[in-house]
Amino acid sequence: MFEVPEDRKYLESHEYATTDGDTATVGITDFAQDELGDVVFVELPEVGDEITQGEEFGVVESIKAVSDLYAPISGTVTAVNEELFDRPELVNDDPYGDGWMLEVDVSDDGAFDGLLSADEYREQTE
């Protein structure tokens, strides 16, 4: 069974977002990192870039595949986890903690409404 924290919302494409006020943290799920295998490279947007819900914002490359990353919410990137550029394996080791990818200033108060709850996401991965 994969870890699916209750404090996040999920995309069917295995990205998550969790919010603390107007800022959201974005990354990929435990299920996604397991399916990918060992992550060897991460390409992310820069601080100040705009991301749009449902659209590609980056790439993650593993020993098995190269996968696009899709934005669970829209907004302006306020921080990028630069540690992933030197240590992409953090995505495998701790996808919900040290392996986070972006912090985003959320531009739409209803951004989380269309995302999956932890239970809905869990059902999808079983």
Q: Which of 80, 35, 32 is nearest to 57 (CA)?
A: 80
Summarised one tens digit per residue, pLDDT across range 47-78 is 999 999 999 999 999 999 999 999 999 999 99
What pTM did the predictor assign?
A: 0.94
Summarised one tens digit per residue, pLDDT across range 71-125 is 999 999 999 999 999 999 999 999 999 999 999 998 777 778 889 999 999 999 8
DSSP secondary structure string for all residues of 73-84: S-EEEEEE-THH
**For the chain, what's the residue count?**
126
